[in-house]
């Protein structure tokens, strides 16, 4: 291992040599001086110096043995620990779920099991020592060479990048590759993490194709819708002009018969003509309401800040003027504002208030209230009356066109007003519902959520 060799080269020789030189120098200087003081005979002095030298060699040999033995044991222990750590690290990398390989000088130096599986082999020898570029699609060669240069020479990490790689059998697959500088066995290189994203890319391509198909269908259906709208506009024009004329003729001639031939007709004849007039007039009202419902569905929303309180008061004033003989208690909460299409919201209030006014007709103390409640930080507007009410069993039919819960003789109407109201509220992104009891009145609730305004358009 390079780390152990470095420690053996620097740690043992240098430290031992320094200690040995210091001890030897001190021993020689001290022992020679001491012998010179104690022995005068040159022959005996030479003999003692010889003994001293052998004694020094023996002692230093013993000391060196124990010192070196201790140091070698420490290094062996460190070496075993490093070997164990390397084995643990290699086991961890080998069993990692992410494909990992190491490249040095642009060739494969190590691959874990997942990396081998990624490239379609179980044998490391089939890839070790081979250039990395062999497993990369040619269209990515230049960018891979640039990344290898940054990793190996500049020691810079590189961001993740999607590439096409090649298995040993030539099959192409997509990978997300990221890498960081790494020194392996004394050589500069990089550790590379390669995640197979073939299924992800396949899903993205399928999703892109599906989006294109959906966009095409939207274009086709939009074109069809525009065609239907044009047909509806033509139909509306026909209804508005071609059907009104015969109805006016039926009503007009029936009235002429009643006026010009009144004396020649008996009571039954006059009753028949009155019924014809009422039916033609009701048909005219029905046509008007149908046209209004059609326009509500197709009209472009032009939103502004709308004062609901003021609109409600204006509608109620008009209703009171139409029936001045009625005394209805009216309560309108002030300061109620929303962001909405003012024309369409006026239709909502006209329909709801007209119903409240109509269904309180037979109450001795009629009362109509318009206000607001806060429910879960949301404005909920309500219109409450103490009129005829209705059975909640039939509440599901309430906002459907031509569905009536009361007798038309007692409470005239076309059965389209609430359907129009519900459609307007839904076009604004709101909700509408009702609560009632027979002969105890009804309360209609609706929400108009906060919206953004871009120019004059609802967002």
Over residues 156-163, mean pLDDT? 89
Q: pLDDT at position 240, please? A: 62
Residue among 293, 290, 313, 285 at smallest CA distance from 408: 285
Whether 370 and 310 have beta carbons less than 8 Å apart is answered as no
Query: Alpha-carbon distance 268 to 284, whole Å?
Result: 24
Q: pLDDT tens digits for 264-318?
A: 888 888 888 888 887 777 777 767 766 666 666 666 777 889 999 999 999 999 8
Q: pLDDT at position 368, please? A: 92
Q: pLDDT at position 4, please? A: 47
Q: pLDDT tens digits for 429-454?
A: 899 998 988 888 899 999 988 764 44
Q: pLDDT at position 310, please? A: 93
Does the pLDDT at position 333 exceed 90? yes
Q: pLDDT at position 87, please? A: 74
Segment 428-436 long-range contacts (CB within 8 Å, at least 24 positions apart): 428/301, 428/340, 428/341, 428/344, 428/458, 432/399, 433/395, 434/395, 434/398, 435/392, 436/389, 436/390, 436/391, 436/392, 436/395
How many CB atoms within 10 Å of residue 427? Answer: 16
Which segments within 356-410 are labelled E, that is strand?
367-375, 378-385
Q: pLDDT at position 404, please? A: 63
Q: pLDDT tens digits for 245-256?
A: 777 778 787 888
Q: pLDDT tens digits for 371-406?
A: 999 888 888 999 999 988 888 887 777 777 666 666
Show Cβ contacts of residue 46 under 8 Å, excluding neighbours closer than 6 positions: none
Q: pLDDT at position 372, please? A: 92
Q: For the chain, what's the residue count?
A: 459
Does 410 or 317 have the greater pLDDT score?
317
Q: pLDDT at position 453, please? A: 42
DSSP 8-state class, residue 243: I
DSSP 8-state class, residue 130: S
Q: pLDDT at position 458, please? A: 45
Q: Are strands 329-332 and 367-375 parallel, antiparallel or unpaired?
A: parallel
Q: pLDDT at position 452, please? A: 43
Does the pLDDT at position 7 exceed 90? no
Q: pLDDT tens digits for 56-110?
A: 778 777 877 777 777 778 878 887 877 777 777 777 777 778 899 999 989 999 9
Question: Two tokens at 121?
Answer: 């082999």
Over residues 118-133, mean pLDDT? 92
pTM above 0.85, yes or no: no
Residue among 220, 391, 383, 249 at smallest CA distance from 316: 383
Task: Identify the three-state secondary structure at position 331.
Answer: strand
Q: How far apart are the first and last CA of the chain?
A: 69
Q: pLDDT at position 179, please? A: 92
Binned at pLDDT 50, 70 and 90, residue 164 comes out as very high
Query: Alpha-carbon distance 327 to 415, whole Å?
Result: 26
Question: Two tokens at 10?
Answer: 């620097």
Query: Alpha-carbon distance 459 to 241, whole Å?
Result: 35
Q: Give the chain's mean pLDDT.
A: 81
Whether 370 and 401 have beta carbons less than 8 Å apart is answered as no
Binned at pLDDT 50, 70 and 90, residue 119 comes out as very high
Q: Which of 53-62, 170-179, 198-207 is predicted with the least confidence, judged by mean pLDDT?
A: 53-62
Q: pLDDT at position 459, please? A: 43
Q: pLDDT at position 20, please? A: 67
Q: pLDDT tens digits for 335-374?
A: 999 998 888 888 889 889 988 888 888 888 999 999 999 8
Over residues 178-203, mean pLDDT? 90
Whether 366 and 329 have beta carbons less than 8 Å apart is answered as yes
């Amino acid at each position: 291992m390079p780390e152990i060799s470095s420690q053996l080269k620097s740690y043992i020789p240098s430290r031992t040599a320094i200690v040995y030189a210091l001890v030897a120098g001190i021993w020689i200087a001290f022992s020679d001086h001491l012998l010179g003081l104690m022995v005068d005979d040159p022959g005996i002095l030479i003999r003692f110096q010889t003994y001293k030298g052998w004694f020094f060699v023996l002692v230093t040999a013993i000391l060196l043995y124990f010192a070196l033995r201790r140091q070698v044991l420490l290094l062996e222990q460190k070496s075993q620990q490093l070997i164990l750590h390397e084995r643990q690290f290699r086991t961890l990398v080998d069993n990692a779920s992410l494909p990992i390989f190491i490249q040095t000088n642009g060739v494969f130096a190590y691959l874990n099991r997942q990396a081998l599986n990624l490239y379609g082999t179980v044998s490391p020898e089939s890839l070790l020592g081979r250039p990395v570029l062999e497993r990369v699609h040619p269209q990515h060669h230049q960018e891979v060479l640039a990344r290898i240069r940054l990793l190996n020479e500049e020691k810079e990490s590189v961001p993740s990048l999607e590439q096409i790689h090649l298995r040993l059998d030539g099959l192409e697959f997509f990978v997300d590759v990221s890498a960081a500088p790494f020194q392996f066995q004394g050589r500069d290189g990089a550790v590379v993490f390669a995640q197979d994203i073939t299924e992800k890319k396949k899903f993205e391509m399928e999703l892109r194709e599906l989006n294109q198909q959906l966009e095409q269908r939207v274009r086709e259906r939009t074109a069809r819708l525009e065609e239907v709208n044009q047909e509806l506009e033509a139909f509306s024009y026909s209804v508005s002009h071609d059907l009104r004329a015969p109805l006016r003729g039926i009503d007009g001639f029936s009235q002429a018969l009643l006026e010009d031939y009144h004396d020649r007709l008996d009571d039954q004849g006059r009753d028949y003509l009155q019924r014809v007039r009422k039916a033609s007039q009701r048909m005219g009202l029905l046509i008007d309401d149908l046209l209004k419902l059609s326009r509500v569905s197709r009209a472009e929303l032009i939103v502004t800040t709308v004062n609901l309180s003021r609109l409600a008061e204006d509608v109620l004033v008009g209703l009171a003027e139409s029936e001045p003989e009625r005394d209805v208690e009216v309560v309108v909460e002030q300061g109620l504002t929303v962001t909405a299409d003012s024309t369409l919201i006026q239709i909502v209030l006209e329909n709801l208030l007209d119903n409240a006014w109509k269904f309180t007709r037979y109450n001795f103390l009629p009362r109509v209230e318009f206000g607001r409640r806060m429910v879960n930080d949301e404005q909920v507007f309500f219109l409450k009356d103490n009129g005829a009410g209705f059975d909640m069993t039939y509440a599901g039919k309430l906002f459907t066109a031509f569905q009536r819960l009361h007798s038309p003789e007692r409470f005239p109407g076309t059965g389209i007003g609430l359907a129009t109201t519900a459609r307007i509220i839904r076009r604004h992104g709101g909700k509408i519902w009702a609560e009632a009891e027979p002969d105890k009145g009804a309360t209609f609730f609706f929400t108009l959520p906060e919206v953004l305004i871009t120019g004059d358009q609802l967002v």
